[in-house]
A and B are shown apart, each in its own frame.
Chain A
Amino acid sequence: MSIRDNLTSSIELLEPVIYSMSGQGKNKAILPMPFPKTSLGDIEGPLINDDPPDLPDISEVESVRHYTRLSRLNYAIDQGMYPLGSCTMKYNPKISEKIATKLSNIHPGDTDAMQPILQLLENLASHLKEICAMDACTLWPAAGAHGELTGMMVIKKAVLERGEHRPEVLIPDTAHGTNPASCTIAGFRAVKVPSGEKGYLEASTLSKYINENVAALMITNPNTLGIFEQEIGKISELLHKNGSYLYMDGANMNAIMGIARPGEMGVDCMHLNLHKTFASPHGGGGPGSGPVLVKHELEPYLPVPWIVRNNEGRLRLVRNAPKSIGSIHSGLGNLSVLMKALCYIISLGQEGIREAAETSVLIASYMKKSLEDCYYLPYNTPTLHEFVLTDRYQKEKGITTLDIAKALMDFGFHPPTIYFPLVVTGAMMIEPTETEPLTEVDRFIDAMKKIDELSKKDPGQFSGMPASTPVSRVDEVWAARNLILSWKTRESNTEESPSK
């Protein structure tokens, strides 16, 4: 090893795992005893663990630096554009954060203190019902996919209550990837329905799949190509005539909120992604919130607890609901995300909500128009808040979508979603969101054009990209074939990735 091997512009790269920095007695801070040992009362014997928990023993300065260094390896929406299609990585206003944090000290068992919280939740639910033109709402699902599962369980219960057996749920190939998984876990069989050449589901195609086995259609609208499902009216008619429900994955409501309402399209059940559409921080598995909204017919099956107002006008949580699918989350869902979404809705207001949707479409359309000469656009149908390009032109020089995504990092951007949706070969799914300033949008367009130019002039350069990030091109194939799932195995693993 030469001395140069340890030289790097980024000291974070040398950052070890926190446990390996541990040494007995390094932590000189006096830790408060959470409770006196004598207060354990009746708890005794094997229930008491004599060994301290396996926590690293390090000093304050080491711990602060450790996490600061790690944070500098990250890329965040507070740093630059994050055009990850379908994930809606919009900027999260700090006022929502500020207000939601203030509410976090209330103990859920304190029923008096919880009154205003329940009122805020009721208020949020009524805003969501208004935005979607739906009749009832549950706020507890903790993520979009959790909302999908809840909605599918509600539909399953409703079908059973009708005394019917309908084992299938139809899913267009432009739906979100989680949809088939959610309906499978709810006990349905997912049946894929092809979308048409125009990039949306045609009622004539759907009619071939409709029969007495179909419990519901699960459609993402606008879909993952960023295209509005323009035959949704006919689709809902077909389904309802057959006694089937229309479920809408509302993860892309960002593009239509304040303009079009799912309830008026004939949707019976849907979920929203508050963390996307209503701007609360998410990503990396962070907290989400996927409220489910239904029409009256499905209301009795919604999960408990229900927020109900009694005769004195006081709100309470009702758990006794015989037809309900039961409880799907402890407490009151991800309360802080719910509060941030409410702040967002109130601060934007009716006009602001509509403007946010319009701006998201305007920015995405501007970007698409600016890039369609350099990158292949697989569908001509007008798109909304996101669009899909492919690597068809660049592939002629051997440059693929993956190379383009890696190169974008050298321009200081998080790459878009790649190789999804699966109906498009070499897809790049770009969603700029409405919160990006024009300068940042132009900077992205410029970067994409430069990458295209580079693919023609010097395609050989791509194999070394990204060059400016803390870690350059990682060997994804090697990593996937040699799974190392804990730092302990990593430390002892001597087999190195063959360098590319």
Chain B
Amino acid sequence: MKFPEDLKYTKDHEWGKAKGNRLIAGITDYAQDELGDIVYIEFNEKGSTIKQGAVFGTVESVKAVSELYAPASGTIVEINESVVDAPEIINKDPYGDGWMIVIEMNDPAELDKLMDSEEYRSYVEKEAK
């Protein structure tokens, strides 16, 4: 299980990587492993605004349907069309090619509320019961 150090993590197993005011977001290695093979994914529209913790999309695996929660507030400026066409990319490379959206953040300070790599690792270990 991977927990890259340069990312921020939500309790709902999304990750975010800040580049200036922009945040790339996706789901964690743990999340994709728990979901199993992802078969369908949909996102809110490009250009729509979103609040931290609000639903930005839905992911469906053979096991379950889960909602995706935004790590930060802002505007969705990009969505990864290639994972919509081939959701298996998320299973293969959740932190790389499996990225989901880019958010133009309203307030990058919001990221302080999220967990860092170490905190998330111990959070996952506790949750995996």
Minimal beta-carbon separation of A289 from chain B (angstroms): 27
CB pair A481–B39 under 8 Å, yes or no, is: yes
Q: Which of B40, B60, B62 has the most CB of A within 10 A?
A: B62
Which residues in window 369-426 of A have CB below 8 A to B?
378, 418-420, 422, 425
- Number of A interface residues at 8 Å Cβ cutoff, please give it: 10
- Residues 259-297 of chain A: 1 if any B CB is under 8 Å from the residue's CB, otherwise 0? 000000000000000000000000000000000000000
User: Contacts A476-B62, A477-B62; is A425 near B34 (CB within 8 Å)?
Assistant: yes
CB pair A419–B63 under 8 Å, yes or no, is: yes
Tally of A-B Cβ pairs under 8 angstroms: 22
Q: Find chain A residues with CB under 8 A from B64 CB.
A: 419-420, 422
Minimal beta-carbon separation of B109 from chain A (angstroms): 25
Minimal beta-carbon separation of A367 from chain B (angstroms): 22
Which residues in window 86-100 of B have CB below 8 A to A?
87-88
CB pair B39–A477 under 8 Å, yes or no, is: yes
CA distance A420 to B65 in the complex (A): 11
Q: Find chain A residues with CB under 8 A from B34 CB.
A: 425
Q: Find chain B residues with CB under 8 A from A422 CB.
A: 64
CA distance A425 to B37 in the complex (A): 15
Q: How large is the interface on B (under 10, 10 to 19, 20 to 34, 35 or more residues)?
A: 10 to 19
CA distance A480 to B59 in the complex (A): 13
CA distance A476 to B64 in the complex (A): 13
User: Contacts A419-B64, A422-B64, A425-B34; is A480 near B39 (CB within 8 Å)?
Assistant: yes
Minimal beta-carbon separation of B18 from chain A (angstroms): 28
- Residues 69-104 of chain B: 1 if any A CB is under 8 Å from the residue's CB, otherwise 0? 000000000000000000110000000000000000
Q: Find chain B residues with CB under 8 A from A480 CB.
A: 39-40, 60, 62
CA distance A460 to B93 in the complex (A): 26
CA distance A422 to B129 in the complex (A): 12
CA distance A210 to B11 in the complex (A): 22
Which residues in window 41-67 of B have CB below 8 A to A?
60, 62-64
Which residues in window 115-129 of B have CB below 8 A to A?
128-129
CB pair A477–B37 under 8 Å, yes or no, is: yes
Minimal beta-carbon separation of A328 from chain B (angstroms): 27
Q: Find chain A residues with CB under 8 A from B37 CB.
A: 476-477
- Residues 468-479 of chain A: 1 if any B CB is under 8 Å from the residue's CB, otherwise 0? 000000001100
Q: Find chain B residues with CB under 8 A from A420 CB.
A: 64
User: Contacts A419-B64, A476-B62, A480-B62; is A425 near B128 (CB within 8 Å)?
Assistant: yes
CA distance A418 to B61 in the complex (A): 13
**Which of B39, B62, B63, B129 is A378 in contact with, Cβ under 8 Å?**
B129
Which residues in window 19-35 of B have CB below 8 A to A?
34
Instruction: Name B39's closest neighbour in chain A (CB-CB).
Output: A480
Instruction: Name B34's closest neighbour in chain A (CB-CB).
Output: A425
CA distance A419 to B37 in the complex (A): 13
Residues of B within 8 A of A (CB): 34, 37, 39-40, 60, 62-64, 87-88, 128-129
- 22 pairs from A and B in contact (CB 8 Å cutoff): A378-B129, A418-B63, A419-B63, A419-B64, A420-B64, A422-B64, A425-B34, A425-B128, A425-B129, A476-B37, A476-B62, A477-B37, A477-B39, A477-B62, A480-B39, A480-B40, A480-B60, A480-B62, A481-B39, A481-B40, A481-B87, A481-B88
